[in-house]
Amino acid sequence: MIAGQPLTIETAAAPRAIQSGVAELARQATAWFVAAALTIYLGLSGGGYDIVVRSELGLVIWWLVLLGILIGILPRARIERPGWLALGLLTAFLLWNWIGLSWSKSHELTLASVCQISTYLGTLILGLCTVTRQTARPLLGGLAFGITLVCGLAVLSKLEPSLFPADGAASFYATPRLSYPFDYADGVGEFAALGIPLLLYAATSCRTIAARALAAAGLPLVLLCLALTVSRGGMLAAVIGVIAFVVLMPDRIPRLSTLAITALGIAVLMAALLHRAGLRDAISVAPAAERHSMLEFLVVVLVATAAAQAVVALLGRRLQRPRWLQVSRKQGRGISLGICGAVAVVVVVVIAGGSVGQMWHDFKQLNPSSHSNQYFRLLSLAGSHRYQYWQVAFKAFESAPLLGIGPGMFRFYWAQHQTIGEYVQNAHSLWFETLAETGLVGFLLVAGFFGSVVFGGIRRLLRDADAERRALVAAAVAGVAAFCGAAGFDWVWQIGVVPIVAMLLVAVTVAGLREPALPAASGPQARSAPIRRLSLAAACLPAIVVIVIPLASTIAVRKSEAAARTGHTTAALADANIAAKIEPGAASPRLQQALLLEQMGYVANARTAIAAALAREPDNAQLWLVASRIATEDGAARRALADYRRAKQLDPTNTIFGG
User: pLDDT-based confidence at 525, cuts 50/70/90?
Assistant: very low
Q: Does residue 441 have a pLDDT over 50?
A: yes
pLDDT mean over 333-342: 70
The C-alpha angle 92, 98, 104, rounded to 5 degrees, equals 130
Q: Does residue 361 have a pLDDT over 80?
A: no
Q: Percent of the chain beyond pLDDT 70?
A: 87
User: pLDDT-based confidence at 308, cuts 50/70/90?
Assistant: very high
Q: Does residue 526 have a pLDDT over 50?
A: no
pLDDT at 250: 86
Q: How far apart are CA 281 and CA 34, in angstroms?
A: 37
For residue 102, count other CB atoms closer than 10 A to its CB: 9
User: pLDDT-based confidence at 329, cuts 50/70/90?
Assistant: low
Q: Which of 50-59, 122-131, 380-389 has the lowest mean pLDDT?
A: 380-389
pLDDT at 348: 64
pLDDT tens sequence across 467-478: 889 999 999 999
pLDDT mean over 219-236: 96
Q: Does residue 6 have a pLDDT over 60?
A: no
Q: How far apart are CA 348 and CA 351, in angstroms?
A: 5
pLDDT mean over 360-381: 77
User: pLDDT-based confidence at 304, cuts 50/70/90?
Assistant: very high
Backbone angles phi, psi at 232, to 5 degrees: -70, -35
Q: Does residue 358 have a pLDDT over 90?
A: no
User: pLDDT-based confidence at 537, cuts 50/70/90?
Assistant: confident
Q: Does residue 75 have a pLDDT over 90?
A: no
User: pLDDT-based confidence at 351, cuts 50/70/90?
Assistant: low
Go through the domains of the chain in sequence order and give each one's CATH number: 9-163+175-510 (no CATH), 547-657 (1.25.40.10)
pLDDT tens sequence across 135-190: 999 999 999 999 999 999 999 999 999 998 765 444 556 678 999 999 999 999 99
pLDDT at 168: 45
Q: Does residue 509 have a pLDDT over 80?
A: yes
Q: Does residue 647 have a pLDDT over 90?
A: yes
pLDDT at 379: 78
What average pLDDT does the structure give for the chain? Answer: 89
Is the N-terminal amide bond of 181 cis, ω within 30° of 0? yes
Q: How far apart are CA 254 and CA 204, in angstroms?
A: 8
Contacts of 57 (CB under 8 A, 6+ apart): 38, 41, 42, 48, 119, 496, 500
Contacts of 510 (CB under 8 A, 6+ apart): 80, 82, 83, 85, 86, 128, 453, 456, 457
For residue 364, count other CB atoms closer than 10 A to its CB: 13
Taking alpha carbons only, the member of 595, 571, 593 closest to residue 584 is: 593
pLDDT at 443: 98
- Write the DSSP string, 528-570: HHHHHHHHHHHHHHHHHHHHHHHHHHHHHHHHHHHHHHTT-HH
Single-letter code of the amino acid located at 556? A
Q: Does residue 521 have a pLDDT over 80?
A: no
User: pLDDT-based confidence at 380, cuts 50/70/90?
Assistant: confident
pLDDT at 528: 46
Please tell me which of 281-295, 368-382, 513-527, 546-560 the model is most confident about, judged by mean pLDDT.
546-560
Q: Does residue 523 have a pLDDT over 70?
A: no
Q: Which of 47-56, 80-89, 357-366, 637-646 has the lowest mean pLDDT?
A: 357-366
Q: Does residue 517 have a pLDDT over 60?
A: no
Q: Does residue 363 have a pLDDT over 90?
A: no
